[in-house]
Amino acid sequence: MKKILLIATGGTIASTEDGNGLSPALTGSELAACVPEIEGLCELDVVQPMNIDSTNMRPSDWLHIRNVVMENYDRYDGFLVLHGTDTMAYTAAALSYLIQASPKPIVLTGSQRPMLSPFTDAKLNLYQSLLWAVDDRARDVAIVFGGLVIAGTRARKQRTMSANAFTSVNFPPLAYIRHDRIVRGGASLPGWTIDDRALEAAVASTETDDGVQAFIAAFRAARAADRTAPTTFDALDDRVAVIKLTPGFDPRIFEVLKPAYDAVILETFGLGGVPEYGPDAPSFKQAIFDWVDSGRTVVMTTQVPEEGLDLGVYEVGRAYADHPGILHGDDMTTEALVAKTMWALGQSRDPREVSRLFYSVINHDRTPAR
């Protein structure tokens, strides 16, 4: 039976009403005890690094959760993080960059209603998250919520009250969970699909020489290494801000932000439109170019939820397409862009290295437009 570590951090799932509004109160052990159906799925241990509303979750807390996972990585077959829904997509993205290519599943879930509510979605989400965590093909960081398994970099909270709160943006769900059954699509999914014994039996049925046996041994060693060695990081630069353009927005905000921030995620209009209001108005082009020429970073994305950015289509975006220091978010979510920019700047201040890290594909986070 697999061993899973449940990491309880608070959120709605753990909340009770104390007369001042819902706030986290139940422990991870108490939450697990509310779902007796999980008995027999796995050996479950619980730790409680924090018990907070996810509105109060900060990058330092992402690092704390990362440390709990890595300090226990060799002792468990998978990890389940109970988390508030409001910032769960940010945490899932951050963990995707801090713990990359994990052969063991790191699952996040929560609920729209507290565990003790008579109409809660918490019990099914907790059960199905553990079902995914013990699945032999599950790996890397994912959110399991409302019957969907979503890559940790592709999730967004789409609804504030409904049980199907999360959607997978610009990438298909990794799987669906129907009651206690995992249903995968036809897309190539992470994880091994070749069983050691099946491969060994197939080869042994036709060949028995030393070379074949050496191949089997090498295959098994490579597979064992893959299952135990994620690439991990422990640094973030949290001086990253998000600006959403609105009609008439004043570009002088970039000058105001310089003392406090190293990077800006700019949510443009449409495919990548940035306004220029004429010679008598402050210039976005000058403000943005001054920002990046001062050694800071701009990440261009779109405020349109689906299909992504292409700065080369319209004149209002083309000026920014190839300027050094301007990174393209393509079809990534803003949540993933925030976490990835913090991660990339946490590793290097060299613009070329930051660009290399930013454009690398991690946990399905981007489909490059060029």
Report, as residue numbers or ranges, the catalytic residues. 12
Which DSSP helix (H) or strand (E) runs through 26? none
Task: Return the CA Rg of the chain.
Answer: 23
- The span from the CA of 23 to the CA of 365, in Å, is 32
- The span from the CA of 239 to the CA of 219, in Å, is 43
- The span from the CA of 191 to the CA of 227, in Å, is 9
What residue type is assigned to position 109 of the chain?
T
- The span from the CA of 222 to the CA of 212, in Å, is 15
What residue type is assigned to position 225 of the chain?
A
Which residue from 133, 199, 146, 135 is spatially nearest to 173, judged by alpha carbons?
Answer: 146
- The span from the CA of 154 to the CA of 365, in Å, is 6
Q: Are 197 and 168 in contact (CB under 8 A)?
A: no
Residue 19 tokens, joined: 């007369």
Residue 29 tokens, joined: 């052990």
Which residue from 297, 304, 211 is spatially nearest to 254, judged by alpha carbons?
Answer: 297
Give the sheet arrangement for strand 326-328, strand by strand: 240-244, 263-268, 297-302, 326-328
Dihedral of alpha carbons 188, 96, 111, 180, sign: positive
Q: Are 351 and 327 in contact (CB under 8 A)?
A: no
